[in-house]
Amino acid sequence: MTETLQEAPPAVRWRKFRSRDAWLKARLRSIGASEAAAVCGVSPWQSPYSLWADKLNPSGPISSTPAMEWGLRLEPAIAKAYKDATEAQWYNPGTYAVATHPYYEWMTATPDRILVDGDAPLQVKCANQYTSANWGGEPPLHYKVQVQHEIAVMGAEYGVLAVLIGGSDFRHYRIERNDKFIEALTRELAAFWQRIQDAAPPPIDGHDSTTATIKRLYGRGDETEIALPSEAIALDERRQNLMDTKTAIEQELTAINNNLKGWIGNATYGVLPNARYKLTTSDVAESVTAAHTRRQLYRSERNDV
13-217: CATH class? alpha beta
Q: What is the pLDDT of residues 259-294, one digit of tens each?
A: 988 888 888 888 887 788 787 765 545 544 555 456
pLDDT bucket at 204, cuts 50 / 70 / 90: very high
Q: Is pLDDT above 60 for 304?
A: no
Q: 299 phi and psi, to 5 degrees?
A: -120, 140
Average model confidence (pLDDT) for the chain?
Answer: 88
Mean pLDDT in residue range 237-262: 93
71 or 258, greater pLDDT = 258
Higher-pLDDT residue of 27, 293:
27
CA geometry: angle at 184 spanning 183 and 186, to 5°? Answer: 65
Q: What is the pLDDT of residue 135?
A: 86
Q: Locate the domains of the chain by residue range.
A: 13-217, 253-305
Strand order in the sheet with 158-165: 90-91, 113-115, 120-127, 158-165, 169-176
pLDDT at 55 > cutoff 90: yes
- The mean pLDDT value for 109-137 works out to 90
Q: Is residue 87 pLDDT above 60, yes or no?
A: yes
pLDDT of residue 303: 58
Residues 6+ apart with CB under 8 A from 34: 110, 146
CA gap 264, 260 in Å, rounded? 6
Q: What is d(CA 214, CA 110) in angstroms, rounded to the nearest whole number?
A: 29
The rounded percent of the chain whose pLDDT value lies above 90 is 63
For residue range 214-230, what is the model confidence (pLDDT) as tens digits? 999 998 888 899 999 99
Please state, in angstroms and as integers, the Cα–Cα distance from residue 55 to each residue in 23, 48, 219, following that order.
Answer: 14, 11, 19
How much is the pLDDT for 290? 54
Q: Which amino acid is at 279?
A: L
For the cut 60, the answer to whether the pLDDT of residue 35 exceeds it is: yes
Q: Are 297 and 269 in contact (CB under 8 A)?
A: no
Mean pLDDT of 66-91: 91
Give the whole-angstrom CA distance, residue 247 versus residue 69: 42
pLDDT of residue 286: 52
pLDDT confidence band for 302 (50 / 70 / 90) = low
Whether the model pTM is above 0.85: no
Mean pLDDT of 58-68: 73
- Rounded CA-CA distance 25/65 in Å is 20
Cα separation, 278 vs 132, in Å, equals: 28
Report the 10 Å Cβ neighbour count for 98.
21
